């Protein structure tokens, strides 16, 4: 896992690939449906929802 919060694909930035990865992990109130959801849980509250997206959006840097 990348030390950069929101870098879901581990390439050192937060860009459109991370947004796509987040979209695949979005669960809202449902069970965590797919492997890797934990790294998309950016606020640590055991789900992947709008709050996590707000964090991801705020960290967006584009490709480096």
Quick one: angle between helices 16-25 and 50-59, nearest 10?
Answer: 170
Cβ neighbours of residue 21 closer than 8 Å, sequence gap 6 or more: 8, 9, 36, 40
Q: What are the residue boundaries of the structural domains of the chain, listed by start? A: 1-64
pTM of the model: 0.79
Contact 10, 1 (CB under 8 A): yes
Phi-psi domain of 15 (left: phi exceeds 0; alpha: psi -120 through 50; beta: other) = beta
pLDDT tens across 1-55, in order?
678 999 999 999 999 999 998 988 886 555 655 666 788 889 988 888 899 999 9
What CATH architecture is 1-64? Orthogonal Bundle (1.10)
Q: What value, to the nearest 5°, has the Cα angle with vertex 28 and ends 35 and 26? A: 45
């Amino acid at each position: 896992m990348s030390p950069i919060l929101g870098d879901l694909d581990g390439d050192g930035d937060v860009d459109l690939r991370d947004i796509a990865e987040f979209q695949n992990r979005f669960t809202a109130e449902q069970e965590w449906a797919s492997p890797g959801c934990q790294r998309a849980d950016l606020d640590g509250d055991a789900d992947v929802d709008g709050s996590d997206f707000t964090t991801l959006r705020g960290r967006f840097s584009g490709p480096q």
